[in-house]
Amino acid sequence: MELGSWSIIQAPSLLALIPLVVMIVLIFRGKSNVSAIMVGVLVGALLLGQDLGAMAKAFATSLGSSTALIGLIIMMGAGLGVLMSEAGVTHTLVYWIVKRIGVNTQTKGKIALVVVSIIVCGLLGTLGGGNAVIAPIMLPIMASLGVTPTVVATLFKVAGEICLILGPLTGVTLITMEVTGLSYGELMIQAAIPFAVFWLAGAWVGANRAQKRTFGKEGYALGEDVQHLDQVVITPRQKRTTVAFLISFVLLVGYGIATKQGTNYALMVMIVLAAVVAIFGGIEIDRSVDCITKGVASQANMFLIFVSIDVLLNLVTLGGGFDALSNLLGGLAGNSPTAVMLVASVVGGFGIEAAAVAEIQIITDMFGGLATQVGLPMGCFAVSILAATRLTGSAYPTTNFAGQLGTAQCSNTKEALQACWISVAFACVFVVAYSFIGPLILGDKTGISSLWVIIAILVGGSFFGVPGMFFGVPVCACLYNAVDFFLRARLRRKDLPTDDASYDRPGAVVSAQEEEKSPDTPQKPL
């Protein structure tokens, strides 16, 4: 896409953000997602001078994008779900998980959803594909427990994002390790795990709020097979079909992990699982196709959202809206480690979501040298990278955000956004607090290791909130130094060396008096 001859703005310009703002405002005024996005697209086309031919090309390009692929995967997942219900696999899975395993409350259900999402998405290395694969299994369970689609969408979004920063082989983890020079363990302890804890805590609060606000107003349509689980009768064929489905699922996921498949692999997973269910369930091919078609058709509206929002974000990028915002914020860093960390955390690689390497490279180019210059520890810089690249996808309706709405079969963008904003707020509190204390604790000025620093932050924050995060480290450092002083005093009274190196190997410990008498010890000149 190129700016039209009669474009009102010249890139980069903050005015290019107007279409996105218009869409968000309309959504919060109760307009449908499709209507809000289409109005945003129209505004963007007028601002950037796009004629009918240019817009036709934009929509055609969007149809061949990764966003459209995710939409197709989600539609196929919905079709698989209908077929699973037809074969009795749905109520069999729900019965086994709810009744036998004991996932029988909303809290347990949400915990199970988060854990499964983190594991599967982390192993496959893809947010959209991983959640799409588990959706046909998890959605019926959420339906039986009364968990609303907005809650499912929120937890899918945050848990899927968290898996990308915790997984040892994900693109986000690998590129962050490369640009910061941190090992995997250092990255986890100094940045990823504490960041993920606060982010997930915020998502949990936001999800619980959304559950209260949406319960009774929205929900999944419960089939007859999951409405009365106490009366469920599972036939031998249904049991065999479910077992075959689970075995196939595990094998397909394992193959995807072993061969490092991408998002598109999820589409083949859906097709193969549908074939397994149809064959073992004894469903004729025509009936199977009808079931899949019914499920696919139910997500046609969501597919339209995927295609149109991709066009909208491309228009914003064309006008340089995200670049202008980055440039505006980039000049605020100064020479303070705290300021550099905060600004780098906000800027991010706007407009290129799902391109982790490109996003992180942009941040490194903009702030990497400055971070080194002002003495910002790489653990702190890693937190900036995580915040800048992951939180933007929860701050406004990005393609990934829309994808998780579709996976969860959620149309309540307003409530889902508000829930994600709460999760972002929790993560931002951590980033702000860490920007002040991180340079001190990771700069080795407290005398305690990074692990104990993180523990001090988490424990202090858990018991005393934000003040506890600030004062937890100094208190821990004081206690550490007090214990260290006491132990060294005891060692001196026993005539034992007080340096750590003396205890590195067996048999190396000698008394201070013996050390003075040792012939190998250099004597001071008289």
Domain ranges for the chain: 66-303, 450-497
Q: How far is CA 411 from CA 150, 218, 219, 247, in A?
A: 8, 9, 11, 32
pLDDT of residue 507: 53
Give percent of the chain with pLDDT exceeding 70: 79
SS3 275: helix
pLDDT, tens digit, 9 for 90 and up, residues 391-443 = 877 877 777 788 888 888 888 888 999 999 999 999 888 888 888 776 666 65
pLDDT, tens digit, 9 for 90 and up, residues 46-95 = 999 898 999 999 999 888 877 788 778 878 888 888 898 888 887 788 77
pLDDT, tens digit, 9 for 90 and up, residues 330-379 = 566 666 778 888 887 876 655 445 456 667 776 777 778 878 888 888 88
Q: What is the DSSP string of 226-254?
A: HH-GGG----HHHHHHHHHHHHHHHHHHH
**Residue 525 pLDDT > 50:** no
**Residue 205 pLDDT > 90:** yes
pLDDT of residue 515: 46
Q: What is the CA radius of gyration of the chain?
A: 27
pLDDT of residue 127: 77
pLDDT of residue 367: 78
Own/partner long-range contacts of 275-278 (Cβ < 8 Å, ≥24 apart): 276/244, 276/245, 276/248, 277/80, 277/83, 277/84, 277/87, 277/89, 277/241, 277/244, 277/245, 278/83, 278/87
The two structure tokens encoding residue 37: 């996005």
The alpha helices in 391-449, defined as continuous H runs, are 392-395, 399-407, 413-441
pLDDT, tens digit, 9 for 90 and up, residues 438-466 = 666 665 544 556 566 667 766 776 666 65
pLDDT of residue 466: 54
